[in-house]
Structures are given as C-alpha cells and as structure tokens.
C-alpha cells in the first residue's frame, strides 16, 4: 500500500517536471522562431528583381516571385543576413534602392516593410551607406 502511494507521487512529480520542461522549451522555440528584432537594409541598385518561378520544399511550383538575400543592420550597426521571398501575386516587390525595415528572429524573417531613409537609426544607416560604396 505504501509502495503504491510512493509510485503514484513519483509519477505525479515526473509529470509535473516534464510539463514544465515542455513549457520552457516551447516558449524558447516560439521566441527563437517568431519574435523578431528590427533590422534595416536597402535593396542594392544592381539587385535582380525579375520574378522567377518559385518552388516549395517538395519541388512544387508555387508561382512567380523574387527571393531576397540581403545584409541588414540593427540600430547598433550589427549585421545579419536576412532572406525572404515576395510572391508576385501577394504584393509589390521591393525595387532596387528601396529601404526596408525587416523584423527577423533567430530563424526566419517574421515581417518586412518599406521604410524611409529618415527613419533608419544612424549606425544602421552608416553601415548601409558603406555597403553601397
């Protein structure tokens, strides 16, 4: 009888530990994947924005789009390579010379938008200007 109680409490304790560990892991995964930091960049003047056929991970044609692979900078001037695709049927593709505000997590670009040069932090703008030379 005493052993059964001990086993029961052991199972409960193990369950609580596993649930807590899962919650911590889940929160960390969410933050790494979906919580972005703001970065600033410009589409280089020589960047090819001609739409090309895009393919899914399993090789399926998903329509025309432009893949962007750009160097972006946070407000301290630290760089990060950002990659995202703009599908032709989902909006305007950023053209060469366009300044972008990119929200990027550790894993993906969460969002991007066109921004004005005047809204870019000084250190990020300095790095962008160096990149243009």
Tens-digit pLDDT profile for residues 37-93: 999 999 999 999 999 999 988 999 989 999 999 999 999 999 999 999 998 877 788
Q: Are residues 69 and 125 in the same domain?
A: yes
DSSP-derived secondary structure letter, 46: T
Residue 12 has pLDDT above 90, yes or no: no
Q: Which two tokens stand for residue 9?
A: 């409490």
Q: How far is CA 34 from the centre of its chain?
A: 7
44 and 106 belong to one structural domain: yes
- Total domains in the fold of the chain: 2
The CATH number given to whatever domain includes residue 114 is 2.40.50.480
Same domain as 46, residue 26 = no
pLDDT at 127: 96
- Considering the chain, what percentage of its residues have pLDDT values greater than 90? 61
> Do the beta carbons of residue 100 and residue 94 sit within 8 Å?
yes
Contact 68, 84 (CB under 8 A): yes
Q: Do 114 and 127 lie in a common domain?
A: yes
d(CA 57, CA 40): 28
Distance CA 58, CA 81 (A): 24
DSSP element (H, E) containing 39: strand 37-42
Assess whether 66 and 1 both reside in one domain. Answer: no
**pLDDT 10s digits, 95-121:** 999 999 999 998 899 999 999 999 999
Distance, CA of 71 to CA of 97 (rounded, Å) = 14
pLDDT band at 36 (very low <50, low <70, confident <90, very high): confident
The number of residues making up the chain comes to 133
**In terms of residue numbers, what domain contains 120?**
36-132
For residues 29 and 89, membership in a common domain is answered with no
Residues 126, 114 share a domain? yes
Q: Are 98 and 43 in contact (CB under 8 A)?
A: yes
Residue 132 has pLDDT above 90, yes or no: no
Is residue 10 domain-shared with residue 71, that is, in the same domain? Answer: no
Share of the chain above pLDDT 70, in %: 95
Report the candidate in 86, 110, 82, 114 with the shortest Cα–Cα distance to residue 99. 114
């Amino acid at each position: 009888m005493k052993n059964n109680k001990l086993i029961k409490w052991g199972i409960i304790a193990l369950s609580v530990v596993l649930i807590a560990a899962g919650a911590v892991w889940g929160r960390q995964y969410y933050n790494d994947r979906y919580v972005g930091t703001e970065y600033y960049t410009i589409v280089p003047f020589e960047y090819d924005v001609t739409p090309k056929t895009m393919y899914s991970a399993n090789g399926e044609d998903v329509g025309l789009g432009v893949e962007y692979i750009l160097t972006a900078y946070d407000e301290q001037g630290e760089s990060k390579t950002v990659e995202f695709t703009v599908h032709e049927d989902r909006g305007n593709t950023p053209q060469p010379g366009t300044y972008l505000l990119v929200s990027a997590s550790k894993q993906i670009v969460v969002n991007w938008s066109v921004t004005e040069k005047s809204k870019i932090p000084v250190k990020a703008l300095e790095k962008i200007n160096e990149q243009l030379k």
